[in-house]
């Protein structure tokens, strides 16, 4: 009999393979962090070191959060119900000026705990003190593509943008070859940078072979500011400065014209991160996702930060993405399978992980299990429908990255969650004082 390290057995497996096969009474064999076999339970018979019959569950590829600021958990609920620029410049930036590396490490770990416990195995993060975000991801075991936010003005972690790019270069080299952690170049947006910064970001990405990640065309206000300052719309600015010619993720892409979508479609290295909760909460508008998909643009899905969502739950995000584009009389827009693709295969592409986002032979063993005994998951006719429309994320009973179980029926296997909660209580007291709440 063939040998493997781990054999997972389940009632259903949503494989996300090329034919989008869903298997019933199936099993996955895992060896050295990779999937070595998947198929009907009888056909995947192995002499395994560990056999886990997970029973009445469905396995899915771990979800990919393509745009987030995990450390912003420390600001969750501190300022709600405001438009983007007022929220950002009057509430968030002043509190972020008080940031420390310790706050970022603990708050990121809380973000990763939330992700792992709701079925997310990989994320693309942009923030400050990103070295501490990466260290927190290492503690949690998450896959994380992280980049230091680069701004025209000083940040809590960098005295100027040059230092931001220097840190990016150093970290990219330090994490080079890491199986789970990597580094991207993150100009924050066109309205918080200038031409020199954007050119330098593009050059660094090209020279070091890094992905680029930027907020783009998030609101009509952003477009107006960009026009007033540079006489150029956000997409045109990125195109002219060559940002679309390197592998990049554009977060939001709400205020765009059809011609601009054609421009994005003509740049095959571009991926969009759609962030429906954040766009709805900040009143930013609705990204034209059906028009993007019709043009073949890679559309991934992200939660954005927990101060503008306020969750890091990709099941919530899938449900909202699936519903948002139907509200104007198009119930056939964004079907469940398309939305699941956004959260898996397209997300993996947006992070540069070409093999991930699928449960197929050779893919990394990033797998989650959802409990089908939950009342909202019964009866079962269509697992993809349940994943997008019925699941809340709290059905997650197991989360595995690289063949390693990181979350197992309520327990985090790599860190002390109770101690983390105590640490976050201390950070809460600090934020309340700084925010003038007490």
Q: Count the alpha carbons within 13 Å of 77 in the hemisphere toward its beta carbon.
A: 4
Q: Judge contact between 131 and 105, C-beta under 8 A.
A: no
Q: How far is CA 257 from the centre of its chain?
A: 25
For position 130 contacting Zn ion by CB under 5 A, the verdict is no
Closest to 296 measured CA to CA, from 270, 278, 322: 270
Instruction: Please list every residue from 81 through 120 that binds Zn ion, using CB under 5 A.
Output: none
Q: How far is CA 214 from the centre of its chain?
A: 13
Cα–Cα distance, 380 to 361 (Å, whole number): 26
The shares of helix, strand and coil residues in the chain, as percent rounded to the nearest 5, are: 40, 25, 35
The number of residues that bind Zn ion (CB under 5 A) is 1
**Residue 166 three-state SS:** helix
Pick the closer one to Zn ion by CB: 17 or 304: 304
Pick the closer one to Zn ion by CB: 70 or 204: 70
Minimum separation from the CB atom of position 67 to Zn ion (A): 6
Strand pairing of 181-183 and 143-150?
parallel
Phi, psi of 305 (to 5 degrees): -80, 160
Cα–Cα distance, 333 to 274 (Å, whole number): 15
Binding mask 275-314 for Zn ion (x = CB under 5 A): -----------------------------x----------
Minimum separation from the CB atom of position 217 to Zn ion (A): 13
Pick the closer one to Zn ion by CB: 44 or 307: 307
Pick the closer one to Zn ion by CB: 37 or 317: 317
DSSP character at residue 160: S
Minimum separation from the CB atom of position 68 to Zn ion (A): 7
Instruction: Please list every residue from 195 through 254 that binds Zn ion, using CB under 5 A.
Output: none
Minimum separation from the CB atom of position 342 to Zn ion (A): 17
Minimum separation from the CB atom of position 69 to Zn ion (A): 6
Pick the closer one to Zn ion by CB: 235 or 251: 251
Q: Residue with the closest Cβ to Zn ion?
A: 304
Pick the closer one to Zn ion by CB: 285 or 335: 285
Minimum separation from the CB atom of position 341 to Zn ion (A): 22
By the criterion CB under 5 A, which residues form the site for Zn ion?
304
């Amino acid at each position: 009999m063939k040998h493997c390290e781990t054999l997972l057995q389940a009632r259903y497996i949503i494989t996300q393979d090329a034919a989008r096969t869903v298997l019933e009474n199936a099993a996955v064999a895992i060896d050295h962090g990779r999937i070595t076999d998947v198929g009907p339970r009888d056909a995947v018979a192995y002499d395994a070191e560990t056999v886990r019959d997970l029973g009445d569950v469905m396995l899915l590829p771990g979800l990919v959060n393509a745009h987030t600021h995990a450390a912003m958990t420390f600001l969750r609920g501190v300022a709600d119900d405001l438009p983007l620029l007022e929220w950002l410049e009057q509430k968030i930036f002043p509190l972020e000026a008080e940031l420390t590396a310790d706050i970022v490490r603990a708050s990121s770990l809380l973000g990763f705990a939330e992700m792992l416990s709701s079925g997310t195995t990989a994320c693309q993060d942009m923030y400050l003190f990103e070295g501490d975000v990466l260290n927190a991801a290492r503690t949690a075991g998450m896959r994380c593509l992280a980049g230091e936010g680069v701004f025209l003005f000083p940040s809590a972690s960098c005295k100027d943008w040059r230092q931001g790019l220097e840190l990016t270069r150093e970290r990219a080299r330090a994490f080079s070859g890491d199986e789970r952690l990597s580094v991207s170049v993150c100009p924050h947006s066109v309205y918080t940078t200038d031409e020199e910064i954007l050119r330098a970001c593009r050059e660094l990405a090209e020279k070091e072979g890094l992905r680029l990640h930027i907020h783009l065309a998030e609101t009509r206000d952003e477009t107006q500011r960009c026009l007033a300052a540079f006489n150029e719309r956000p997409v045109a600015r990125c195109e002219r400065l060559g940002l679309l010619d390197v592998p990049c993720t554009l977060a939001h892409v709400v205020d765009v014209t059809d011609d601009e979508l054609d421009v994005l479609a003509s740049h095959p290295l571009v991926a969009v991160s759609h962030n429906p909760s954040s766009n709805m909460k900040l009143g930013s508008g609705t990204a034209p996702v059906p028009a993007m998909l019709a043009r073949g643009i890679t559309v991934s899905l992200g939660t954005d930060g927990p101060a503008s969502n306020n969750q890091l739950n990709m099941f919530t995000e899938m449900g909202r993405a699936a519903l948002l584009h139907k509200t104007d009389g198009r119930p056939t827009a964004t079907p469940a399978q398309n939305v699941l693709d956004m959260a898996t295969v397209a997300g993996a592409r947006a992070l540069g992980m070409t093999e991930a986002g699928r449960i197929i032979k050779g893919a990394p063993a990033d797998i989650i299990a959802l409990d089908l005994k939950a009342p909202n998951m019964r009866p079962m006719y269509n697992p993809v429908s349940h994943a997008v429309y019925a699941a809340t994320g709290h059905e997650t009973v197991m989360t595995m990255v690289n063949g390693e179980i990181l979350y197992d029926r309520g327990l985090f296997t790599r860190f002390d969650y109770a101690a983390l909660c105590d640490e976050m209580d201390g950070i809460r007291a600090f934020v309340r004082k700084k925010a003038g709440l007490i």
